[in-house]
Structure 1
Amino acid sequence: MLTRRWLIASLLTLLLPAAACADQSANRFVEGEHYIRLDSEVRTVNPNKIEVTEVFWYGCSHCFHFEPMVHAWSEKQADDVVFVQSPAMWNRIMETHARAFYTAKALGVLDKVHQPIFNAINMERNMLRDADALAELFAQQGVERAKFMKVFNSFSVDSQVRQADARARGYGIQGTPEMVVNGKFRVSTRTAGSQRGMLEVVDYLVEQERKAAQ
């Protein structure tokens, strides 16, 4: 009997630190320190999915370096997670680039032009300041200039640009890149410590949202 009690006590001694460690790991990110809860929730596109939004700008060098990392991350997500990119804009050139993003989506060529736009601005020092410069880049990817211009100046693209601007304001974006989980929590490199850390915090918040939904 004594031996049995000793064995049980020994097992508990081994298991308790492991349990404490697991609990600490599950709660290693703190609201207000590693991520910010938004004052008001921003509506997501599909309430049945966990929406993760990256707010970015093509002219942001940090976004340029983050792009392959966040793309690889998005490819590994479960079916209940939807990844969305939303352009930031607080000046005219950023609005022009946001128009390019939604024009590419409307034309179905985002996969073709997304990285070339990043490369042109960040590697070739071509800021793509206006529709003409962008039309040339799109033409290199097989999009006719007239077709590009029609969509670029369309009401639909204009509407999406306004919605993206309103969304970023609702998020309280302070820089780029920043990420928002389910319209509730904002994560930045400032709060998370690094771009890799930002994705780790996002993973944590996604799991919290998944548990809450269950």
Structure 2
Amino acid sequence: MFKKMFSLATVFSFLLLVSACSDGAEPAAAKVTPPVANATQSQAQPTDAGDKGERFIRIAQPVRTSNPDKIEVVEVFWYGCSHCFHFDPMIEAWKKQLPADVDFHRSPAMWNDLMVVHAKAYYAALTLGVLDKVHEPIFNAINVDRNMLKDADALAKLFTEHAGVDADTFRKTFDSFGVNSQVKQADARARSYGIAGTPELIVNGKYRITGRSAGGRAEMLKVAEELIAKERAAK
């Protein structure tokens, strides 16, 4: 009986891990359901296939970027997405080589309660100034160790172990007004972008790049570079 219950729990965890992901030439593994907060969303159904003859999807209503003087690239991701996990080392290396006129940001996706928990962890790490210490450990805990980090207690333990953050300090930050506000803003962005899965790249609030539209994770970065050059030439 115990073995059966353990097996069911393992299957459930696996399904949860892949439910938000899309990769390569494959479509998203799950339909995107409405995220948490209220926000304006494009009327078009989210898709991960490129526009006709293109390797990207134009966003129907361009989204304002954080700095109009820069070309913005946003990665929409989830810590529980195995494709994001494998994409992350590529993104980390790529962003270090970006020109000075390009701003790179991450924005967590969330269309279920667990994704909201992980989004709060991301913004808590940013607020505490320890993202560089916990970003990879969070990915590894979920995707390698199969520890879903499903609540503040599990995350507090990880933040203490890898960044020396006191558990009470973490919990206060995790539940703070500032973190919750950033989570709502990320949710609004995801709706405005019309994301269909994770990971996706958004270039200058105008273009979405998915694994399917580009033809794979490495190709996503090449398409992003082409669109960065296009936006630079248009300035």
TM-score, length of structure 1 as denominator length: 0.85
Q: How many residues align?
A: 185
Q: CA deviation at 1:173?
A: 0.5
| 1:94 alignment partner, one of 115, 118, 121 | 115
Tell me the alpha carbon deviations over residues 83-108 of structure 1, each in whole angstroms, 9 at most, x when there is no partner. 10000000000000000000000000
In the aligned structure 2, how far is the partner of 1:36 from the partner of 1:121? 30
Segments of structure 1 that go 5 or more residues without pairing to the other structure are 1-28
Q: Secondary structure at the match of 2:149?
A: coil
| 1:124 alignment partner, one of 145, 150, 157 | 145
Q: Secondary structure at the match of 1:54?
A: strand
In the aligned structure 1, how far is the partner of 2:214 from the partner of 2:89? 19
Counterpart check, 1:200 vs 2:201: no
| 1:79 alignment partner, one of 100, 109, 114 | 100
In the aligned structure 1, how far is the partner of 2:53 from the partner of 2:175? 41
Q: Could you say which structure has the higher helix fraction?
A: 1
2:54 counterpart residue number: 33
In the aligned structure 1, how far is the partner of 2:201 from the partner of 2:173? 28
After TM superposition, the structure 1 = structure 2 runs for residues 1-16 of structure 1, keeping only pairs within 5 Å, are: none
After TM superposition, the structure 1 = structure 2 runs for residues 1-214 of structure 1, keeping only pairs within 5 Å, are: 33-140=54-161, 141-213=163-235
Q: CA deviation at 1:32?
A: 5.8
Tell me the alpha carbon deviations over residues 152-208 of structure 1, each in whole angstroms, 9 at most, x when there is no partner. 000000000000000011000000000000000000001001001111100000000
Moved over 2 A (4+): 29-33
Larger Rg, first or second structure (1 or 2): 1
Q: Which has the higher contact order (CA 8 A, sep 6+)?
A: 2
Q: Pick closer, same or farther for the CA change 1:32–1:104 going to 2, 3 Å.
A: farther
Q: Secondary structure at the match of 1:90?
A: coil
In the aligned structure 2, how far is the partner of 1:180 from the partner of 1:80? 16
2:9 counterpart residue number: none
In the aligned structure 2, how far is the partner of 1:191 from the partner of 1:30? 8
Residue type at the aligned position of 2:206: K
In the aligned structure 2, how far is the partner of 1:173 from the partner of 1:37? 11
TM-score, length of structure 2 as denominator length: 0.77
Q: CA deviation at 1:125?
A: 0.4
Segments of structure 2 that go 5 or more residues without pairing to the other structure are 1-49
Conserved? CA contact 1:31–1:37, under 8 Å: no
Q: Pick closer, same or farther for the CA change 1:83–1:31 going to 2, 3 Å.
A: farther
In the aligned structure 1, how far is the partner of 2:182 from the partner of 2:158? 21
Q: Pick closer, same or farther for the CA change 1:108–1:31 going to 2, 3 Å.
A: farther
1:3 counterpart residue number: none
Residue type at the aligned position of 1:130: D
In the aligned structure 2, how far is the partner of 1:68 from the partner of 1:58? 13
Residue type at the aligned position of 1:145: A
Q: CA deviation at 1:33?
A: 3.0
| CA RMSD in angstroms, aligned pairs only | 1.2
Residue type at the aligned position of 2:65: T
Q: CA deviation at 1:31?
A: 6.3
1:18 counterpart residue number: none
